[in-house]
Amino acid sequence: MSARTLPPRRPQSERRHWVFLYRCGCPFGLVELSKFYKTEDDAWDGMFDTRSEERRARAAGVRVEYVDHATYSRDFYPRMTQDCTHGGMQQ
């Protein structure tokens, strides 16, 4: 059996993300720029399973920010692991 190797990961300085935020500003999801997710529209498609879920999220005030990895790590990651106490999409 041969060992499988993972493709090399891009350097942190080259990584970019779309961070999804509830209306209150709490982050809840992330899509990383890749050959599959090249545009913001691609990121929305990657984040939500159906167009109706995406429309519902947009109507509830969900927004997206395109950031580099350092910004994500500094500004969003610490909050990404916490539950939104503002109600998320229930607002």
| pTM summary value | 0.81
Tell me the residue type at 52: S
Which residue ranges make up each domain of the chain? 19-82
> Which is nearest to 79 in space by CA: 34, 42, 18, 27?
27
Cα–Cα distance for residue pair 62/35, rounded to 1 Å: 24
In this predicted structure, what is the pLDDT of residue 81?
83
> Which is nearest to 22 in space by CA: 49, 73, 67, 59?
59
Angle made by CA atoms 44, 50, 55, in degrees to the nearest 5: 65
pLDDT by position in tens, the chain (length 91):
556 776 667 766 789 999 999 999 999 999 999 999 999 999 999 999 999 999 999 999 999 999 999 999 999 999 988 888 877 665 4
In this predicted structure, what is the pLDDT of residue 91?
44
Tokens encoding 58: 């947009």
